Structure 1
């Protein structure tokens, strides 16, 4: 085992956190001897060696005890002997290490003794790691032996030819699964690699779920071996059980299983291309534009995005209006890119970009955002239709099977299979625009399970149809039904998790309107025969059922969303709106729609034009009850959002938008809520203001890339810059009629606060420039300070934004374009100067002659909650999707990789142990 003479630890072989912790502890003890100079107060070199010696003795004693108590001592003496040999090897290497360490600390100036002590330390660490890895592999072998025992029990159960024997083997199977489950969960928690942990837990879950199906399928086969359906059910469950056991064994042994849960979490090509495109269109300097190379790359990405969008637009459930919007936005994106590339080409050879470049970038981002919204809504169209009623097809199939109607059962089995295929197809389709790897994994795995399960559900129904009085066939059908509903429920929740609530509610509203139009068409359609009248009644009844189903689905989704939020006035308002829809509007709608359908069935052939109009109005009024209640829910949800968080086809419906028309002669006082007046600007002025805000956001994105990557702790410059950015964002929001600033006085106070922060920033930057020893760096930093003062003063002047009101005839016209534009442009100039100041301050800080109380550290990734609320197999509902910042994303990957392999300090230990000489 040790003949190869390796002197490095292969950390890739360590799969257990417990082993990793032990190895890390030994690394710290050993490396302290050769690297801790000078010694800490009260610490001696001999004391360090004694510490290692004591740790080694303790380790050996614990090792001998564990080996003597090993559960496989009698079953596998070879493994026990290998453990003892590895422990003896650790003891030998430890004694050598201690002796050579004592020689070194007595003569710490000797380079040769240091080298010998270092090599002996390496050898000891490798020996310890080998022993721990071997011990861990034996632990794994004990778990694998339990898997083999479980596999043998499954085989005996499948070979059983009587009900009693099947029951006995199933009891043994359940007890073994419970015992294995505890061990597997403990092992999963201890695994170092997250993907192995996920795969192990997925295999464990599959094992627990398939066991009841195996039991009922085997009992049914023993009772009805002559039926092909019973044979297929049995073969399916046996295959699924063996697959789960094989996956468990493979993951435990560090191998790759056939079905890999973690591999399902691959981000779709379309969303990946969109993210790549949005990151590449923003060039920092004119020199970054590489002519035809940049053009060809960006144009190629756009065409790939258009191609992927076309596949979504051409799908069956995509509405014609949505398809046209997708086509239009693809063309708009192409045009926006061409406009931006033209501006880039004009800037070649210049020192800085003109204002047209940020405007072009903002326009491309806007078009991309619009395209993404329509693509998401198209996918939600599919989800809303496919998951409108997931229970009825199976319930109808079971009812037909219980009645023993063979032809009807076969027909309904075919309908159920088509329904199942649609669910699976839509589930996979929905992953194209999601970047949630965990959610995608759950969806893809569950869709695959449903795809295999659906034919077996039909087989169990056909068996029940053939033997409707058989208790075994009934229990078998019940097991398959429960499994199906459980998996569909899990898939539904997973789809809800990757779908934003705004998209879902917007699509639901639109679909309710569509169903209402469909019902109206069924009412107005002329019926000349009873068959035609029955068909029209069916159309109305189907439309009413769809509206009711969509309304109840809205209630379920919104209630689930509120369950993940802390109780507050906001959540209570939303829940109250949901309660009104569920308990009042839906019931009232159902009653009125039912009465209408009854009247149509009874007298539809004799309806005249007036009766049709009356019934149509009655149906519209009933639908309006539901539609308005859904809209109330959406408005209640939007009350907790800012306008920047809303990505909707229809923007906010602001209260009081038209309020001024009825009271045009009213005099507006000075302290009137100016924010409301800003909302009432003419549409043309709003568009001009929005264009300036889009440019401001490009600068804001640059700010976040350059400034937000630094940690505020111990760095007042970053703290001040972030505060200034937040205030400026509030001021620009005010020009759109939203945000926390309500009156002109609020804006003036905000400008004063920015000026105060700007003065503080100047003082800190001046301190850094004074301490800098590089004259060019000092000059660069000092050149930005007067600009901050200038723009702060200009912002104070521009902050007196006031909507001017003039009365023309009976109409009141509001105007504030010039002052709003000046405010936004000044805020953008100031923010850009702050970015340059921070960059220059960082560069100057690296060349200072004395230490200052300003620390430049990368900002850590955002903390995750220690306890995450869990529902339905630990699917976590995520917030609205946002495009991550590239530097923060890189930092997160950097930190995540270190965490996944232990922690940052441990990785340093790896480099020190395996790399130093």
Structure 2
């Protein structure tokens, strides 16, 4: 049960910041960073441009640096004002503001124009200094924004605590007069909490957190009227135990919902609460994980580590499908098919594992063919099992809505209560409870087949709401049967029945959404996206020519996400280039492939800026596909290298890095080859593609320096791969140094921003 307590900011979130892992959770923070990211990107780009720069270009760069410094100075003044008004974050806020101010000054110094003895403009500092300064600046600014966000969280916590205190007062009221006063105050506080949590829900980026906040707000909204009528019934009939049972149930549900709000705003620092039970694992996710592992076996050749993982995940799949086979509402035909497909999956995995064991001893052409055949067979079995589970869950839900028993069951309960017929009440209560169990079963199975995390969460909470509400309706109907002339009891039963119907409507909508998700349906037509210039996306329909391009403006969230991901990609390629430049071996296959992948990633970065030769999202996905294939080839070269290294701690570190590559490659290839329909789905695919590319690029950046140390320490020969021996090197669809803005465009960019702070407006919006 949730209890009142002092307002505090969780120390784990407010005072401990990892400069390499400042994850942004809200859209408002992301949008605030967009102008800064744009300016820093301009600076980093021109630091990398080869050749001596003209004085005009250097002055343009200097103006951008000064504009950044000025914006940061105004920005930190707002941050310090927030710190002055919030003592619990003051020290951390002032520390973050100091870092941001120093970083801004450093940017300005790096962009200052310098002259040699002859009065000629000297080229600015090297790119690595600017990259380090950019990282420091973004880290410090993000830290300030996250601390400011804790103020918003504190406001929600304060409103929540007021609601909890009012609930406690209502629970202890003994008279109608006292109850009316307490409930009036409670209503005002609920309105404030509803506004704050609504704003937070809209601001959250993570779909799972948004779904949880939506579930909590729905429970509180619907429970408010139920609280009013159930408390009035209990006050009118203080000796009626079913009335007390109903009222207490409402209090429990509301406190669970307030606990769920706590979980969302504190980003998981509290445990998930769902009637005291953590939701079970989703079967769809387990099946998808197993399918990915089986596909990855083409790269890992089903080695021992892969076999162990596949066996573990298959056991999870079988455990979660018990809900389908154990359900009393699953037909015999569906149950038999599920059991048969589970057994077939075990048999296929056993065959696949046997081939993997044989290949560890000796690889032959026959083994490779058998491996491919068993992978194909097991993928088909798992796909068939997924479809069968979907059919089972959707058939159960369809059967419920076809029978449409809810209105008759509720009407019978109301009639028996109004007549005071306790025998009929008991009979109808049994039927209603059985119907409630069937709805819970259907919700549980829908949660298992839900293709997205928000849908799975919605299904979990729909099941829980029905589970809690059913006994309350039975208890209220019993109260009415005991007091058949009570108008308050009848009114309360009507309110609870209306809430039940609202939950059933939610379930019907959920069934439609999950069914559409399973079938891949969408109301939007399939499109291709492109970024010819920042802020716009042309929509290119199938079978059309470039003449049909119609620019559509990116919304703020999309623009923020693209800009942030692009800059992160750019910084990663710079780091990887710095590591590969240390090697001098011209025939080193590891370094050749790493450089090639860095160059491909850079072309993807240029795409996020609307530059380069990747013109549409199809170009981007094809480049990412080449990137993933090159990663698989690099994985094999690294395996050869690792086998030559003697046992040591560094070799263990290298092995852990190498083992991550196949899963990242397979996931990237899966994303790029998956079909999409509509602008939103295509944009999400772009987002996922770039993020998976970053994951793989980050892993390779960690591998290259370890290989360098091991090669030098143990004189290990790295695999050689002369260009003429390559079967077909993946094409890099852009080049490293081209398509830059000229100095005039940079000057224009800087002058348009130098007279204003691009951060202050968004910062103040967060505070209000």
- Matching of residue 196 in structure 1 with residue 209 in structure 2: yes
The residue that corresponds to 1:252 in the other structure is: 265
2:502 to 486, 503, 520: 486
Residues 401, 461 of structure 1: 8 Å contact kept = yes
Structure 2 stretches of 5 or more lacking a match?
Answer: 1-10, 533-541, 544-599, 601-611, 626-665, 675-681, 703-768
1:596-623 alpha-carbon deviations (Å, 9 max, x no partner):
xxxxxxxxxxxxxxxxxxxxxxxxxxxx
1:463 deviation in Å? 1.1
The residue that corresponds to 1:428 in the other structure is: 444
1:450 deviation in Å? 1.4
The residue that corresponds to 2:569 in the other structure is: none
Q: Which has the larger radius of gyration?
A: 1
Q: Closer, same or farther in 2 for the Cα pair 1:24/1:212, shift >3 Å?
A: same
- Matching of residue 36 in structure 1 with residue 46 in structure 2: yes
What is the TM-score with the length of structure 2 in the denominator?
A: 0.56
Give the match's secondary structure for 1:238.
helix
1:173 to 186, 190, 202: 186
1:256-286 alpha-carbon deviations (Å, 9 max, x no partner):
444468x98876448734873697389869x
Q: Closer, same or farther in 2 for the Cα pair 1:204/1:861, shift >3 Å?
A: farther
1:415 deviation in Å? 3.0
Residues 157, 170 of structure 1: 8 Å contact kept = yes
Residues 668, 692 of structure 2: 8 Å contact kept = no
1:465 deviation in Å? 1.2
1:456 to 452, 472, 478: 472
Q: Closer, same or farther in 2 for the Cα pair 1:477/1:121, shift >3 Å?
A: same
1:495 to 511, 528, 543: 511
- Matching of residue 97 in structure 1 with residue 106 in structure 2: yes
Residues 213, 260 of structure 2: 8 Å contact kept = yes
Counterpart-to-counterpart distance in 1, 2:451 and 2:200: 29
Residues 156, 196 of structure 2: 8 Å contact kept = yes
Moved more, 5-14 or 335-344: 335-344
The residue that corresponds to 2:670 in the other structure is: 889
Residues 427, 443 of structure 1: 8 Å contact kept = yes
The residue that corresponds to 1:316 in the other structure is: 328
Residues 231, 247 of structure 2: 8 Å contact kept = yes
2:286 to 240, 261, 272: 272
1:90-138 alpha-carbon deviations (Å, 9 max, x no partner):
6863684367336675579799999888777666555544433332222
Residues 9, 125 of structure 1: 8 Å contact kept = no
Structure 1 stretches of 5 or more lacking a match?
Answer: 504-560, 568-708, 714-721, 724-841, 843-850, 863-884
The residue that corresponds to 1:395 in the other structure is: 411
Counterpart-to-counterpart distance in 1, 2:226 and 2:302: 62
Residues 270, 308 of structure 1: 8 Å contact kept = no
Q: Closer, same or farther in 2 for the Cα pair 1:373/1:902, shift >3 Å?
A: closer
1:26 deviation in Å? 3.5
1:409 deviation in Å? 1.6
Count of paired positions: 547
2:22 to 4, 12, 32: 12
Residues 279, 886 of structure 1: 8 Å contact kept = no
Counterpart-to-counterpart distance in 2, 1:114 and 1:861: 26
2:427 to 404, 407, 411: 411
Counterpart-to-counterpart distance in 1, 2:294 and 2:160: 50
1:169 deviation in Å? 4.0
1:134 to 122, 142, 147: 147
Give the match's secondary structure for 2:146.
helix
1:335 deviation in Å? 8.1
1:43 deviation in Å? 4.9
Residues 286, 313 of structure 2: 8 Å contact kept = no
The residue that corresponds to 1:581 in the other structure is: none
Counterpart-to-counterpart distance in 2, 1:225 and 1:369: 57
- Matching of residue 858 in structure 1 with residue 621 in structure 2: yes
Q: Closer, same or farther in 2 for the Cα pair 1:195/1:303, shift >3 Å?
A: closer
Counterpart-to-counterpart distance in 1, 2:481 and 2:199: 44
Give the match's secondary structure for 2:406.
coil
Alignment of 1:584-733 (within 5 A): none
- Matching of residue 441 in structure 1 with residue 457 in structure 2: yes
Give the match's secondary structure for 1:391.
helix
CA-atom RMSD in angstroms: 5.9
Counterpart-to-counterpart distance in 2, 1:710 and 1:900: 14
- Matching of residue 475 in structure 1 with residue 487 in structure 2: no
Q: Closer, same or farther in 2 for the Cα pair 1:378/1:241, shift >3 Å?
A: closer
Higher RCO (Cα < 8 Å, 6 or more apart): 2
Give the match's secondary structure for 1:254.
coil
What is the TM-score with the length of structure 1 in the denominator?
A: 0.48
Counterpart-to-counterpart distance in 2, 1:63 and 1:861: 39
Residues 96, 120 of structure 1: 8 Å contact kept = no
Q: Closer, same or farther in 2 for the Cα pair 1:349/1:316, shift >3 Å?
A: same
1:401 deviation in Å? 0.9
Give the match's secondary structure for 2:621.
coil
Q: Closer, same or farther in 2 for the Cα pair 1:248/1:432, shift >3 Å?
A: closer
The residue that corresponds to 1:465 in the other structure is: 481
Q: Closer, same or farther in 2 for the Cα pair 1:40/1:223, shift >3 Å?
A: farther
1:462 deviation in Å? 1.2
Residues 53, 123 of structure 2: 8 Å contact kept = no
1:190 deviation in Å? 2.5
Moved more, 362-371 or 342-351: 342-351
